[in-house]
Amino acid sequence: MQIYLPIAEMSVNVFVLLGLGGLVGVMSGMFGVGGGFLLTPLLMLLGVPSTISVATVANQVVGSSVSGVLAQIRRRGVDFRMGFVLLVGGIAGAALGMILFEKLRRMGQADLLISLSYVVFLGAIGSLMLVESLKAMVQSRKGPVRRKLHRHGLIHRLPVKIRFRTSGLYISIFPPLLVGAGVGVLVAIMGVGGGFIMVPAMIYLLEMPTKVVIGTSLFQITFVAAFTTILHAINSQSVDLVLAIFLLLGGAIGAQIGTRLGARMPAEQLRILLALLVLAVCIRLGLGLVIEPDELYSLEIVRGG
Amino acid sequence: MKRRGGQRGESRPSGATRRRPLRGALRAALLAGALLAEAAGASSAAPGSPAPIHIASPHGSPPPSPAPLRLAQAAGDGTRKDGGGGQSAFVSEGVLPGGPQGGRERIVADLDQNRVAITAGFDGSEIFVFGAVKRTGPEPASGPLGVVVTLIGPPEKIVVRRKERVKGLWINRDSLVIEAAPSFYALATNGPLGELVTAEERLRYRIGIRQQIFSLEGIAKAAEAAPFIEALIRLQERKGVYRLLEGAVQLSEATLFHARIPLPANLTEGDYEARIFLTRGGQVVDRAETVIPVHKVGLERWIWRLAHERPLSYGILAIVLAALTGWIAATFFALLRR
């Protein structure tokens, strides 16, 4: 059964879309990440133009995180004050990322920007996660090591401190603003939710308690992704609503399977698996930049031109 | 060249599309039958085969002559989206005098559908072109008869980029801006193109994909632009939007012809120009053309228009719909699990 995507102007099999959404849903159910970092490259592989992939995945992220946010709010897993600070940073970052994206798109380097960002970020996060979880595995065999409750580094010497009650933090407003902005840039240029950057940054950089990390990051991601969707819709008319809805439907089914699979596996092994997956996508994209491509030429249809 | 540029998002049903639909088979048969009868009466060159009788009855018993049957069956397979009216959609130019010997030869042709609607389930289509050669005298002996059918999609501005190795990375460097290249181009003939039309005639009537590509910007020198244009054609052929269909035109008894031109699913909206060239000994002796509008309809059209005319509303709608879909799906599965 084929469906014609009105914005991408192409006809795609419905089951391919549902499957793709489902695969990403399985991932998000298993690992608790959005899976946007897989979805954008996969859509591009399917032949969806890169700008439409990025914009549509931003829209898909809104839908896939909204129910999570609601659930987290009910569980009091959202630090709203932190969420708002991150959101302000995120919106500024998304606007900045958008300008960068548009500029490079005009220069014909959007694909390079997208690939390079993926390689750099996935590479960094993947290796960090791998090292971290391997260490944790070794440590859990040796027995627990006590961590210092408060470390006083550069972050604690910055001005404009704010008390984040839910997180039990009294820190400067700048680190969360910067973290939010960084993620905002990523949403705009990579079409990802940015959870895979946000969560480690919240844990290791801001030292937030784990119980509010997921909820707060989801809260910020939902709104930043919504903002980005509107920016893409206005700037390049590249949000494909039909595509996003089919991806979401597939994703909802996949998430159910993923949650069950995830519940059966030990957390440490899951993290190693996720780290390896992230690294695999990174290497695949990296090779594409280094190895001489079969086809040196590419076409870009100038729409509305 | 008339009416260039995509008429996106604008309702523009031509007079032709409003005409009452009629079964393609019946029309094909009536047209072909009438023409053959006329041709047979007017010229000794027209075959005296019993073909017209058989085509005139589209659902009749199998006739002995296979070619006209194929015509009748092909047009009558009932999948056509839209029928036309009583007269030919093609406008014959009739500008060209006939060969030195013999009378004039003219094209009378029609299509099985005079517009293409892109619906939500659109999965490509097919244009069936059929017609006949009308002669006012005996068949000229000046070389072989050629029928060339081209279907040209609305032009697009395309940037062709070439990757180069820079510091170990393959990145886009040189580019060529192609001001106008057809978004779709199909060329169907009844034999090898080179034997049917001379190079000069191809240039004059812009028959062939290279004659349809116009570049102004980028690399000025033609020699440097050539690989980019080659790449454009290669990539578009791979996408299935440029195709050379030599031998796809079935010509029977030097009079009746028909061709099927497949349309891919990734069609660009706009006006598609169908042109038929009749050639004799490499020279174009007549041409006819018509326009087939290709447009999104229904929901597809509504979404496209909203996205382009009211992007802010579209963006908000996209967010709300995505949030609702995500939320409803999650709630549904949560209930299911209980």
Q: Is A106 in CB contact (< 8 Å) with chain B? A: no
> Domain for residue B337, yes or no?
yes
- Residue A300 has its nearest CB partner, among B159, B317, B327, at B159
- Residue A67 has its nearest CB partner, among B299, B330, B337, at B330
Whether B219 and B331 map to the same domain: the answer is no
Whether B291 and B263 map to the same domain: the answer is yes
> Domain for residue B10, yes or no?
no
Q: Distance from A184 to chain B by nearest Cα, in Å?
A: 17
| Backbone torsions φ then ψ of B26, nearest 5 degrees | -65, -45
Pull the structure tokens for residue B15: 């007079």
Q: What is the pLDDT of residue B179?
A: 85
**Residues in chain A with pLDDT < 70?**
32, 34, 142-157, 303-305
Cβ of A300 within 8 Å of Cβ of B235? The answer is no
Whether B305 and B210 map to the same domain: the answer is no
Q: What is the pLDDT of residue B234?
A: 93
Cβ of A234 within 8 Å of Cβ of B315? The answer is yes
- Residue B322 has its nearest CB partner, among A7, A60, A302, at A60
> Domain for residue B6, yes or no?
no
Domain that holds residue B304: 298-338
Whether B143 and B188 map to the same domain: the answer is yes
Cα separation, A190 vs A195, whole angstroms: 12
Q: Distance from A132 to chain B by nearest Cα, in Å?
A: 30
Whether B319 and B227 map to the same domain: the answer is no
Q: Tell me A148's DSSP state.
A: P
Q: Are A19 and A202 in contact (CB under 8 A)?
A: no
Q: Is A252 in CB contact (< 8 Å) with chain B? A: yes
Number of domains in chain B: 2
Q: Are B137 and B41 in contact (CB under 8 A)?
A: no
Whether B46 and B169 map to the same domain: the answer is yes
Whether B67 and B178 map to the same domain: the answer is yes
Burial class (CB in 10 A: 0-12, 13-18, 19+), A104: middle
Cα separation, A280 vs B47, whole angstroms: 69
CB atoms within 10 A of CB B127: 23
Q: Tell me B183's DSSP state.
A: S
Interhelix angle for A241-264 vs A14-31, to 10°? 40
Q: What is the pLDDT of residue B239?
A: 85
Whole-number Cα distances in Å, B16 to A174, A232, B12, B32, B82? 66, 39, 11, 20, 11
Whether B72 and B214 map to the same domain: the answer is yes
> Domain for residue B9, yes or no?
no
- C-alpha of B283 from chain center: 22
Whether B113 and B243 map to the same domain: the answer is yes
Q: By CA distance, what is A234's nearest residue in B?
A: B311
Amino acid letter for position A19 = G
Whether B327 and B208 map to the same domain: the answer is no
pLDDT tens, per residue, chain B with 338 residues: 333 333 333 333 443 333 333 444 445 444 544 444 444 444 333 333 332 322 333 333 333 333 232 232 233 333 333 333 345 567 665 544 444 444 578 888 888 888 888 888 888 888 999 999 988 877 777 778 899 999 999 998 888 889 888 888 888 888 888 888 999 999 999 989 888 999 898 888 889 888 888 766 545 566 778 888 889 999 999 888 999 999 899 998 888 999 999 998 888 889 999 999 999 888 898 888 899 999 888 888 899 899 999 999 999 999 999 999 988 888 888 788 77
Cα separation, A5 vs A13, whole angstroms: 10
Cα dihedral B15, B17, B23, B29, rounded to 10, equals 50
Domain ranges in chain A are 2-144+170-290
Q: Are B179 and B29 in contact (CB under 8 A)?
A: no
Residues of B in contact with A230 (CB under 8 A): 312, 315-316, 319
- Residue A249 has its nearest CB partner, among B124, B162, B325, at B325
Buried b (16+ CB within 10 A) or exposed e, B279-294: bbbbbbbbbbbbbbbb
Q: What is the pLDDT of residue B100?
A: 43
DSSP B75-128: HTSS--S----SS-S-EE---S---SSS--EEEEEEES-S-EEE-TT---EEEE
| Backbone torsions φ then ψ of A56, nearest 5 degrees | -70, -35
Whether B317 and B280 map to the same domain: the answer is no
